[in-house]
Amino acid sequence: MFDFVIGIITGVLSSVVFNPCEKALYLQIMNNKHFLDKKLWVPYKSFTKNLTYLYNGSYISITNKIISSGIYFTLLDKLINMSKHTPCTHENQKLITSSILGVLTGITTNPLNIIKHYSWVDNNTNVRNCIVKIYKNKKCYGFTYGLSYVILRDVIFNYCYISYNKKNELLYNMFVNASILTLVSPLNYIKNYKYYNVTLSKNDNSLDIMKKLFHNLKTKNNMKCKCVYLCNQLLIGYGTIISSCRITFSQVTYNYLSNK
């Protein structure tokens, strides 16, 4: 029980620190802007309005981070310990743990992420209104958009994370996390567009989404512009650095609070 309390505290801290950055990253893709564009961070003159804007959807984000950045490590520890008592090989143990954790976190966090992202695009601070709008437009199916890509992304990430992270190797782990996030960035890109489709009257399939990406890529004038555009869309750069820092921050916080 104590481990779950630590997980909750870790999730809350992670949400408070990283929610503004994650919002800017998502809107960067949808609005095709630079991550440091002022309009993504402080679109209003009022300090109070900007603060509300940055932490729009914070209740959902906190709940999400409690699961994905807090309880995640609690479940990871317990699943690894349980898998050690199975007659499977070490590689199969990692695969089973990664799959179970990916499915559990994917199913629980995906609806929360959809509501959060909807509130960011709609700039709506009322969670209940967001839920009603999503249900009105898409019914219950609207809360499952992107789920398969979330689960696949998380299973791959979990397997690599378990395989390559080392205890008390902070910089090394940050590099590993960033590398894994780069590997799964196409899945994350499709997931983000699936979330965006919840706000629209369409549901593009993954092939259409990738076709649109490559079509836009061809319109860029030179290789530098193509690389910058692709990195911005796949969140390679600022996105991988921030997400890697968030994961490492959560792991360090969890380990510190649990004296591991």
- Residue type for 193, please? Y
Over the stretch 111-130, which tens digit does the pLDDT of each residue have? 988 988 888 877 766 788 88
pLDDT at residue 260 in the model: 63
Give the span between the Cα atoms of 42 and 48, in whole angstroms. Answer: 10
Stretch 52-79: mean pLDDT: 75
Q: Where are the domains of the chain?
A: 2-257
Helices (H) and strands (E) in the chain, counts: 13, 0
Residue 102 has pLDDT above 70, yes or no: yes
Residue 110 has pLDDT above 80, yes or no: yes
70, 143 contact by CB (below 8 A) = no
pTM of the model: 0.83
Residue 230 C-beta-side C-alpha neighbours within 13 Å: 16
Give the span between the Cα atoms of 71 and 176, in whole angstroms. Answer: 21
CATH code, residues 2-257: 1.50.40.10
Stretch 24-43: mean pLDDT: 83
Over the stretch 148-168, which tens digit does the pLDDT of each residue have? 999 999 999 999 999 998 877
Stretch 181-208: mean pLDDT: 88
Q: Which of 220, 251, 244, 247 is nearest to 233 (CA)?
A: 220
Q: How far is CA 61 from CA 54, 73, 171, in A?
A: 12, 17, 26
